[in-house]
Chains A and B, each alone.
Chain A
Amino acid sequence: MVHYDIVVIGGGPAGLAAAIESRKNGVKNILVIERDRELGGILQQCIHNGFGLQIFKEELTGPEYAERFIKELINMGIEYKLDTMVLEVSDSKMITAVNPTDGMLHIQAKAIILAMGCRERTRGAIRIPGTRPAGVLTAGTAQRFVNIEGHMIGKKVVILGSGDIGLIMARRMTLEGAEVLAVTELMPYSGGLTRNIVQCLEDFDIPLYLSHTVINVEGHDRVEAVTIAQVDERLKPIKGTEKRFECDTLLLSVGLIPENELSKSAGIKLDNVTSGPIVNESMETSAEGIFACGNVVHVHDLVDWVTKESKRAGKNAAKYVKGQLENNCKNIKIKGINGVRYVVPHIVRPDNVEQTVELMMRVDNIYKNVKLVVKSNGEVIKEVKRKHVAPGEMENINLDFSKFNLGNSDEISIEIVKEGE
């Protein structure tokens, strides 16, 4: 059995930032565990640019963004293990892991930071009808094949889902010589960033079918055709609107789910909406001393926000190890209501707030000209105007605890109110 002060599970952007920040806050004995053959996580396959504008004020590709953190981690002498799969985390902060050189490992940590990221929803998760041929892949898997392994995955492609990965793969496949026949989106609006609609679809004249879904997949060994149809308000396909595309590949970009198998094994409470752990202002989960950050908590739009959130987790894990985190104190519940689907963090312990808490949230629909209204025990304490909010774009509100005197609050709620009401 080996002992560490802090063990970080996951060597992607969240894990790297958390480990670096823990070290900056005085913890020496840190281990990062990564199951892939190198650090950097999914950033290594995201070869497009646009990363780092908030953190570095310049536009980087995924591998460039990752490399800056990997260098910093290595220069700090933080230990890491690659090719290492964590099998179990216990609530007593015991980690069981396995790799080809050490065999089975038992690691006792004083604090754990969960940074396992998320995984893609698959064909099974959305029950697409039709035969089961080869050529149906998630967009992220396709991205790895094309950008890292160097395999071309198809020539004529239909993409279901307009999330950012789907849009980026539409451009990537086109650049590599494939023909992208259609991107279809179930909702009446795209789930991706507008900039990606512009530079991945419009630049290459790829049609986007909103309010459409895939209703059939044909083919025995390989995909031969995909049929799409328009859907009504209840998301049911409308007869007579079918379009059949002859193609060899169907890419799925139908959402991401935080990867919380390990969190469940540690008995950590999860939020039904985010599918990630319930966390407090310090990014600590319901298990004392186990922290979480990044896409394992809730799926972020930008890696910059993952980095910011993970720094908070790393700093607080260091505080916990040094016994500086107050646990037996008042808990304020944070709730999203009336159009706000969720808010992270879920709980704020005012005794641990230095000054402000950044609340991250998602809305349930597209709204124009609204206010995000923050209430403490039913009284309005802050209003933020927004011209446009959408489920695909996360909203942030900074709550200054010293200013609002929130120490006596039992519950803080955030809701959407139409302008003028």
Chain B
Amino acid sequence: MEARDMVCIVCPLGCKLKVIKNEESQNGYTVEGNKCFRGMNYGITEMTNPTRVLTTTVIISGSSIRRLPVKTSGPIPKHLIEEAMKIINEIEVKTPIKVGQVIIKNILGTGVDVIASRSMFINSEEGYLKDHLA
């Protein structure tokens, strides 16, 4: 029977999984060693279509910091990461940016957006005040 040992990377616990091909089960695989349901999903996805959340930065102007951190709003197929990086590296944004704001919509047709992972204003600290106390 086809089986693979892997470490679950959904969360920092790092459960040691055994994913076994099993025609009789609903998903085609059975997963052992996971402490939560997400571990099971991870094990099966890793066998069929491995995905990752991509985090990187884009160029930003108008702030004291030179890069805006961004992330994909959900996992994208692992084999698309290199291509996604090329697209993201072409992007330049300007302040103000709010956390969660979409920077690139539906990257590579994955249905996943690239979003800002922090707010950035001309002076980021004053920006917070304006935004949250006004």
Contact = CB atoms under 8 A, between A and B. Distances in A.
B66 A198 contact: no
Nearest to A73: B128
Interface string B90-116: 000000000100000000000000000
A149 B125 contact: no
**Chain A interface main SS type:** helix
A64 interface: yes
B117 A61 contact: yes
Nearest to B78: A203
Interface in B49-83: 52-57, 59, 64-67, 69, 71, 78, 81
A39 B8 CA distance: 33
B31 to A, nearest CB: 16
The range of chain B's interface size is 20 to 34
B12 A149 contact: no
Contacts of A239: none
Contacts of A63: 69, 99, 117-118
A175 B85 contact: yes
Interface string B2-44: 0000111101101000000000000000000000000000000
B55 A48 contact: yes
A87 interface: no
A301 interface: yes
Nearest to A150: B66
Contacts of B56: 47, 175-176
A75 interface: yes
A199 B52 contact: yes
A195 interface: yes
Contacts of B71: 47, 49, 61
A67 B132 CA distance: 12
Contacts of A104: none
A193 interface: yes
Given A49-B71, A150-B67, A203-B52, A195 B12 contact: yes
Nearest to A75: B132
Given A38-B124, A150-B59, A301 B119 contact: no
Contacts of B55: 47-49, 61
A330 B9 CA distance: 44
Interface in A51-83: 53, 59-64, 66-67, 70-71, 74-75, 82
A70 B56 CA distance: 22
Nearest to B60: A150
A195 B69 contact: no
Contacts of B118: 44, 61, 63-64, 66-67
A32 to B, nearest CB: 12
A386 to B, nearest CB: 13
Contact of A147 (B11, B59, B69, B99): B69
Interface string A204-221: 000000000000000000
Nearest to B99: A67
B133 interface: yes
Contact of A50 (B7, B12, B119): B12
Contacts of B85: 175-176
Nearest to B14: A194
Contact of A198 (B7, B59, B65, B119): B7
A150 to B, nearest CB: 4
Given A53-B11, A61-B117, A195-B14, 4 more contacts: A70-B128, A175-B81, A176-B56, A199-B9
Interface of B: 6-9, 11-12, 14, 52-57, 59, 64-67, 69, 71, 78, 81, 85, 99, 117-119, 124-125, 128-129, 132-133
3 smallest A-B Cβ distances: which pairs?
Answer: A63-B118, A150-B66, A47-B69
Interface of A: 37-39, 44, 47-50, 53, 59-64, 66-67, 70-71, 74-75, 82, 146-150, 175-176, 193-195, 197-199, 203, 301-302
17 contacts: A38-B125, A44-B118, A47-B69, A48-B55, A59-B53, A64-B118, A66-B118, A74-B129, A82-B125, A193-B12, A194-B14, A195-B8, A195-B9, A195-B11, A198-B6, A203-B78, A301-B12
